[in-house]
Structure formats: structure tokens, C-alpha cells
Amino acid sequence: MTYIRVDEKMYPATIVGRVGDNTWDGRESKSITLTMSHDEVAALLPDGTPWSIVQRTPAPDESGTENENEWDNSAFSLSGDITDHRDGTVTIKMGKPTDLEDAYEMLLGGDEA
């Protein structure tokens, strides 16, 4: 089973990645489908949210212990379009900044208090 982890909480998810998303300035993106509302997913994954993909698989023996692998996806820090599928699920796109956006960030600096 596949999940995303946000703030130490797990959410069952279906995730599809794109190396060059031609619908979003050619950036790398991940489309995450979750069972929740538009407003809930917007609050869960605003820009800059650290998140990871977690894959759980049953133990290869009778121990009952699940194997868990986790991959940090915090580099996919930009919240994109949210699509409501009207079946109780929504898909949110999370994207990596483009090289140009990273260059502007270095040149102009980020948010500083």
C-alpha cells in the first residue's frame, strides 16, 4: 500500500510522477490522489510542506511485520492544481521549482524575517 506522510500522519494515496510536466512549465511533478475534499488537501499540502512517499508491503514471513520504505519528496515543494473527481477523491499536483525559479531565488533571495 502507498501513502504520503505529512507531519507524521499517513494518508493512503495514489501517486504518479512526471519528469517533464508539459502542463506546468516543464517542471518535475507528482500528482497525488487522496480521499478528501479540495479544502482539506489545500490545507494539507500548501507550498513548502515537507512530505514523503511511504510504501508498505507485507512481511515475507509469518511475523506479521510490514516492511516500510520511505522517500523524502520535500523537493516537490510547489502546490499546483487541485482536481476534484466528484467521487470523494481529489488530485493535487506538487512540483519542483524549475532551474529558472531556483536562479531567481538565489539572485533575489527568499523570504527572510
What mean pLDDT, rounded, does the chain reach?
A: 90
- The answer to whether residue 109 scores a pLDDT higher than 80 is no
Q: What is the mean pLDDT of residues 27-42?
A: 96
- The answer to whether residue 38 scores a pLDDT higher than 90 is yes
Residue 50 and residue 104 in contact, taking contact as beta carbons nearer than 8 Å: no
Q: Give the H/E segment covering residue 91.
A: strand 90-95
Provide the pLDDT for residue 111: 56
State the pTM of this model. 0.83
Lowest mean pLDDT among 48-52, 55-59, 77-81, 97-101: 97-101
Q: What is the mean pLDDT of residues 36-54?
A: 97
Residue 100 and residue 87 in contact, taking contact as beta carbons nearer than 8 Å: no
Confidence of residue 49 (pLDDT cuts 50, 70, 90): very high
Provide the pLDDT for residue 108: 81
Provide the pLDDT for residue 60: 76
Q: What is the mean pLDDT of residues 24-34?
A: 93
Angle subtended at Cα 4 by Cα 99 and Cα 8, rounded to the nearest 5 degrees: 105
Provide the pLDDT for residue 26: 86
